[in-house]
A = this chain, B = another copy of it.
């Protein structure tokens, strides 16, 4: 098994080659990966069978098992996703500023790869390919550290990708897997300053929290979403019902799903029963403030302070009636994780105030929070959704996997 130093040294070498590679070469590497995944599907499925068998034996939950399991169709989907990345524009080399200074120095700000990107994730093997492909297209080498549950599958995938890259004339070390899935290997990645330029955790809140707290390598914090939908007065109540139903129920486990519904007192009496009828169809459990329970009845559980702070990730929704737009904004300011926040309103001034005063990666007027996504935002694929303010915020596409470099051309200038 390679040490972190060895992985880092190899990645740095590969990163230097990738940084200089043109889009055409990188795309050729991506197409080679997609073709190899399709060709070696039996090998991947055999490895995945080992993982799932062990997981079954260990009594893994059905939901987790579903994330871990691959079949032929899923592998086709993973390969197709790689091919889609080929069609995205290369962010490297884009010039996003510059000028000729009064002393004649010509300064250009060019986008360049970050270098070596570390990714720590859990049991989803599709992340192995997704992350590698996004890093490759943006000229970065990556060091991937997936969960122990998926180690056989990940070894197969990483091996296939590495060989495909070598055959396509690119460094196989551009994609490396950490074979040691112990906690210590994750800890070593978090302290690998000088080897890793950035570390991105992808997974549950516990993993992300641990990486944020322990890493000395710069981290992009992703994906914790306590999102709110505020149904204002006046508004189109039916639109409000459609939006909260979609925001809560279309995929409750994801970070852009709504966790709390705020309702203006003036419309609560009419709106809440309509919303409840729609949410009942999905068996959503409501946890409400006293006013919500007065309107909807005692079958609604009382909401605690923790409920308003929670990212349920499930068919559970906290509900609160507020007196005003300002109270809604205050509530959001207090409990929001800065991911996605929505207002449903027909008042122009309220829409302006809400978008100006709510501090989040994405602020919506009359649309579902579920749109916070690289694909939906037109960035193509995404490597995660940043909920911190440094570097970037919201969906991270290829552009967010680059940094800048100033190129300064002179004719002997001194200062």
A40 at the interface (CB under 8 A from B): no
Q: Is the CB of B364 within 8 A of A408?
A: yes
A242 at the interface (CB under 8 A from B): yes
Q: Is the CB of B391 within 8 A of A239?
A: no
CB-CB under 8 A from A394, the residues of chain B are 404, 406
State the Cβ distance, A391 to closest chain B Cβ, in Å. Answer: 4
Number of interface residues of A (CB under 8 A): 69
Q: Is the CB of B406 within 8 A of A250?
A: no
Say which residue of B115, B242, B361 sits within 8 Å of A406 (CB atoms).
B361
CB-CB under 8 A from A212, the residues of chain B are 193, 216
Residues of chain A from 11 to 28 with CB closer than 8 A to chain B in the complex: 16, 19-20
A178 at the interface (CB under 8 A from B): no
Q: Is the CB of A414 within 8 A of B363?
A: no
Q: Roughly how many angstroms separate A227 CA and B355 CA in the complex, as a whole number?
A: 44
Q: Is the CB of A415 within 8 A of B213?
A: no
Residues of chain A from 384 to 415 with CB closer than 8 A to chain B in the complex: 388-394, 403-415
CB-CB under 8 A from A412, the residues of chain B are 236, 239, 242-243, 366-367
| Stretch of A168-176, A284-292, A368-376 that contacts chain B | A368-376
State the Cβ distance, A383 to closest chain B Cβ, in Å. Answer: 14
A159 at the interface (CB under 8 A from B): no
Q: Roughly how many angstroms separate A257 CA and B101 CA in the complex, as a whole number?
A: 20
Say which residue of B357, B390, B407, B415 sits within 8 Å of A250 (CB atoms).
B415
Q: Is the CB of B389 within 8 A of A406?
A: no
State the Cβ distance, A351 to closest chain B Cβ, in Å. Answer: 8
State the Cβ distance, A239 to closest chain B Cβ, in Å. Answer: 4
Q: Is the CB of B363 within 8 A of A407?
A: yes
What are some 9 contacts across the A-B interface (CB < 8 A)? Answer: A16-B333, A99-B378, A105-B376, A114-B389, A239-B412, A243-B414, A363-B405, A367-B408, A367-B411
5 interchain residue pairs of minimum CB distance:
A367-B410, A246-B414, A218-B390, A389-B403, A370-B415
Question: Which residues in A have some Cβ–Cβ distance to B below 8 Å?
Answer: 16, 19-20, 99, 101, 105, 107, 112, 114-115, 193, 197-198, 212-213, 216, 218-221, 236, 239, 242-243, 245-247, 250, 333, 351, 355-357, 359-368, 370-372, 376-378, 388-394, 403-415
